[in-house]
């Protein structure tokens, strides 16, 4: 089944409406600008999946071109000199399209308040299908895997540039700027980017944004780059050393790589995500370490989605899932983490990441 077919199935014969950007992007391909928060020239787009399988996107005129082929759009004004109440217009468009509905399936938390008020006022029952949508998004179609491959190559370019830039006397921000510039050069344009870039004692804090801290010989630098190319995210992490690393840093790093390898090898259809999590934590614990975060997670139209690889979860891996695994080990004065993205296949997992994992 394609993602549209899965979405149709989970809606159970009802129209499905979503204002969750990750779901809108998943169904329509539309990747909106996300780097500067809310814009007065647009409101969040909405998607409506009809029970007959057709899709309708409610979107500003400026963004309509980003909606995939064969998907109908109903637009409200984008950039305009005059005053426009885009929120009211978007609500009106969606409400009109749902005139005959008695029940709609939705991730209700994501819907704009004005639309919910209008639908409830019309006597429409809203059935929440948020968790079903999250589960449906976890398995990728072939075009989604291709898109994640492309965004992973951008992450690789960033990791390479960060490794080249990290040197004594430079700041975390210097390394960051060069990594980002390399990614944007590789992409040919702006790249939305979530990242940890911390060095020295900051690596003990697991993550954080780049600062003006100056790198010194003996520092570790933890670089976790999460770029979005077009509609799809990737993820990657490496830890590298400036000058010579202490022997205990090298040991912890070797253990983290071993934990990653062990976890990667387990990612086959039918494996419980909790077992992958336990295996990775086990390798780290044998080496005397620990980490306070998840072992991994899916990526797609969001940077952290199902399947979450955590303890005590019933999730089971399936062919077509794309998973980022990122075990680490953190002490009082420094920490290490390594991460790769993989595709769950019917055989061995395919590692999509191509960046250097050495210290």
Specify the stretch interacting with its own copies by CB under 8 A; choose among 1-9, 158-166, 169-177, 263-271. 169-177
111 binds its own copies (CB under 8 A): yes
* Nearest distance, CB of residue 221 and its own copies, angstroms: 16
* Nearest distance, CB of residue 33 and its own copies, angstroms: 8
127 binds its own copies (CB under 8 A): no
160 binds its own copies (CB under 8 A): no
- Dig out the tokens for 323 from the structure: 């998973």
344 binds its own copies (CB under 8 A): no
- Dig out the tokens for 203 from the structure: 């690596």
SS3 285: helix
* Nearest distance, CB of residue 55 and its own copies, angstroms: 20
150 binds its own copies (CB under 8 A): no
Specify the stretch interacting with its own copies by CB under 8 A; choose among 1-9, 263-271, 308-316, 340-348. 308-316
SS3 111: coil
Residue with tokens 């019933």: 314
Backbone angles phi, psi at 47, to 5 degrees: -125, 145
Nearer to its own copies, 35 or 52 (CB): 35
Nearer to its own copies, 327 or 359 (CB): 327
DSSP 230: T
Q: Report the C-alpha gap between 80 and 40 in whole angstroms.
A: 10
Per-residue binding letters, 41-60, with its own copies (x by CB under 8 A): x-x-----------------
345 binds its own copies (CB under 8 A): no
Q: Which residues pair with 228 in a beta bridge?
A: 233
- Render 168-224 in DSSP notation, one character per residue: TT-BHHHHHHHHHHHHHHHHTS---EEEEEEEGGGGGGS-----SPBP-TT-EEEEE
Total residues in contact with its own copies, by rule CB under 8 A: 66
Candidate residues 293, 319, 350, 351; the one interacting with its own copies per rule CB under 8 A: 293
* Nearest distance, CB of residue 348 and its own copies, angstroms: 27
Contact between 25 and 301 (Cβ < 8 Å): yes
Candidate residues 10, 92, 116, 150; the one interacting with its own copies per rule CB under 8 A: 116
Closest Cα partner for 296 from 310, 275, 284, 315? 310
Candidate residues 5, 72, 102, 109; the one interacting with its own copies per rule CB under 8 A: 109
Q: Report the C-alpha gap between 17 and 129 in whole angstroms.
A: 10
SS3 92: helix
Backbone angles phi, psi at 76, to 5 degrees: -120, 165
Residues that bind its own copies (CB under 8 A): 19-22, 34-41, 43, 79, 81-83, 87-88, 91, 106, 108-117, 120, 126, 171, 173-174, 176-177, 180-181, 184-185, 188-190, 192-194, 209-212, 226, 228, 292-294, 302-305, 308, 310-313
């Amino acid at each position: 089944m394609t993602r549209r077919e899965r979405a149709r199935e989970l809606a159970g014969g009802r129209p499905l409406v979503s204002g969750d950007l990750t779901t809108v992007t998943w169904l329509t391909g539309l990747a909106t600008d996300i780097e500067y928060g809310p814009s007065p020239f647009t409101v969040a787009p909405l998607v409506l999946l009809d029970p007959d399988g057709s899709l309708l996107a409610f979107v500003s005129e400026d963004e309509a071109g980003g909606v995939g082929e064969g998907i109908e759009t109903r637009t409200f004004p984008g950039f305009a000199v005059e005053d426009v109440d885009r929120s009211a217009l978007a609500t009106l468009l969606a409400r009109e399209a749902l005139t005959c509905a008695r029940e709609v399936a939705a991730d209700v938390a994501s819907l704009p308040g004005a639309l919910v008020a209008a639908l409830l006022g019309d006597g429409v029952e809203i059935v929440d299908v948020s968790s079903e949508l999250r589960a449906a998004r976890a398995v990728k179609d072939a075009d989604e895997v291709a898109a994640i491959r492309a965004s992973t190559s951008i992450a690789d370019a960033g990791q390479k540039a960060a490794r080249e830039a990290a040197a004594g006397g430079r700041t975390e921000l210097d390394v960051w700027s060069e990594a980002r510039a390399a990614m944007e050069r590789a992409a040919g344009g702006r790249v939305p980017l979530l990242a940890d870039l911390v060095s020295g004692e900051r690596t003990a804090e697991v993550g954080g944004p780049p600062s003006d801290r100056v790198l010194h010989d003996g520092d570790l630098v933890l670089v976790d780059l999460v770029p979005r190319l077009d509609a799809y995210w990737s993820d990657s992490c490496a830890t590298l050393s400036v000058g010579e690393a202490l022997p205990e840093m090298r040991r912890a790093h070797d253990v983290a790589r071993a934990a990653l390898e062990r976890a990667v090898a387990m990612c086959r259809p039918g494996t419980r995500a909790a077992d992958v999590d336990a295996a990775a934590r086990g390798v780290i614990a044998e080496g005397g370490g620990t980490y306070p975060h998840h072992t991994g997670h899916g990526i797609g139209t969001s940077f952290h989605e199902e399947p979450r690889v955590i303890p005590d979860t019933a999730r089971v891996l399936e062919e077509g899932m794309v998973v980022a695994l990122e075990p680490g080990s953190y002490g009082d004065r420094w920490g290490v983490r390594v991460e790769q993205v993989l595709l769950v296949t019917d055989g061995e997992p395919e590692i999509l990441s191509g960046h250097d994992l050495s210290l």
